[in-house]
């Protein structure tokens, strides 16, 4: 049955190929959301020469310091077309964009380990309040974490709880941190692995990640890696407020 499904999928692709989510031309391969030309042109954040750690980039650590984690890996700066796809997935329930982002994350997992990156013991994700989850229908950070867990065959841990709070959109750094204080709690009773990976979709000020890492450090987690789709450069957060595009697209961080 699996071989038959694969054959039917290939046949459907030949008859009605998907349109590339960037240039709108037909894609060359089944199950892909981008054509080969757009894949080659896709802007990214190359970290191979920086030990896979975006914290070594001045444009990152100037906007996040002090940090409570050890490594930050991201696919790109927060820029087009990534920002468009992330907004469409989160706020318009465009699951084709979500599938594209998950495909690119799975590819990044393969490149990371093949170039010497260390796999964590388990992966967890930024939680979403029950009200926000009901409003959106899914937690994008959880879906991204599931991709990593499947790619590396490591446990996916649902260890955080988030209570309902004010939206983070448009808040300053100080307002975000105050808003997040006591929002999260750790609901894991058993001892956590020494090396954890924490996943979110976008990092702007790092306020959300900071609060979650504090909880993990209290549970004697020795190493915390953070993975995300995109990072906002430090010069975009230097004045503690974000341009219109960031304000409308990114929350809760």
Query: Tens digit of pLDDT for each residue in 25-50?
Result: 999 887 889 999 999 999 999 887 78
8 and 33 co-located in one domain: yes
Range list of H helices, the chain: 2-15, 36-41, 58-64, 82-92, 95-114, 130-136, 140-152, 173-180, 207-218, 234-237, 244-249
35 and 20 co-located in one domain: yes
Using a pLDDT cut of 90, give the percent of the chain over it.
61
- Give dist(CA 231, CA 10) in Å, integer: 36
222 and 102 co-located in one domain: yes
- The answer to whether 85 and 243 are in contact (CB under 8 A) is no
123 and 155 co-located in one domain: yes
Where in the sequence is the domain holding 27, given as residue range(s)? Answer: 1-41
User: Can you give the pLDDT at residue 49?
Assistant: 78
User: Can you give the pLDDT at residue 241?
Assistant: 41
pLDDT band at 247 (very low <50, low <70, confident <90, very high): very low
20 and 59 co-located in one domain: no
- Give dist(CA 192, CA 194) in Å, integer: 6
Q: Decide which of 17 and 126 is more confident.
A: 126
55 and 171 co-located in one domain: yes
24 and 122 co-located in one domain: no
74 and 129 co-located in one domain: yes
18 and 66 co-located in one domain: no
- Give dist(CA 159, CA 127) in Å, integer: 8
CATH code, domain with 60: 3.40.50
∠ Cα 165 196 123 (to 5°): 70
User: Can you give the pLDDT at residue 234?
Assistant: 82
Across the range 182-206, mean pLDDT stands at 91
Closest CA to 204 of 168, 180, 166: 168
∠ Cα 235 238 241 (to 5°): 110
Query: Domain count of the chain?
Result: 2
User: Can you give the pLDDT at residue 169?
Assistant: 57
111 and 175 co-located in one domain: yes
7 and 105 co-located in one domain: no
User: Can you give the pLDDT at residue 251?
Assistant: 43
132 and 213 co-located in one domain: yes
Q: And the tokens for 31?
A: 């199950």
pLDDT at 8 over 80: no
């Amino acid at each position: 049955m699996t071989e038959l499904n694969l054959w039917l999928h290939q046949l459907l692709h030949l008859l009605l190929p998907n349109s590339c989510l960037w240039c709108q031309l037909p894609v060359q391969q089944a199950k892909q959301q981008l054509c080969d030309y757009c894949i080659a042109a896709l802007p990214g954040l190359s970290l191979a020469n920086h030990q896979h750690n975006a914290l070594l980039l001045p444009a990152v650590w100037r906007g996040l310091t002090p940090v409570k984690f050890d490594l930050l890996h991201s696919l790109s700066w927060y820029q087009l077309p990534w920002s468009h796809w992330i907004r469409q997935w989160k706020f318009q329930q465009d699951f084709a964009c979500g599938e594209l982002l998950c495909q690119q994350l799975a590819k990044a997992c393969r490149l990371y380990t093949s170039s010497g990156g260390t796999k964590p013991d388990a992966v967890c994700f930024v939680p979403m309040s029950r009200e926000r989850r009901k409003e959106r229908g899914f937690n994008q950070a959880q879906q991204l974490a599931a991709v990593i867990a499947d790619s590396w065959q490591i446990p996916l841990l649902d260890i955080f709880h988030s209570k309902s709070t004010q939206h983070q959109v448009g808040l300053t750094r100080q307002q975000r941190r105050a808003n997040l204080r006591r929002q999260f709690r750790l609901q894991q009773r058993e001892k956590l692995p020494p090396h954890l990976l924490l996943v979110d979709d976008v990092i702007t000020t790092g306020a959300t990640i900071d609060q979650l890492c504090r909880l993990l450090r209290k549970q004697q987690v020795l190493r915390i890696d953070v993975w995300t789709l995109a990072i906002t450069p430090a010069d975009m957060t230097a004045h503690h407020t974000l341009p219109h595009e960031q304000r409308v697209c990114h929350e809760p961080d």
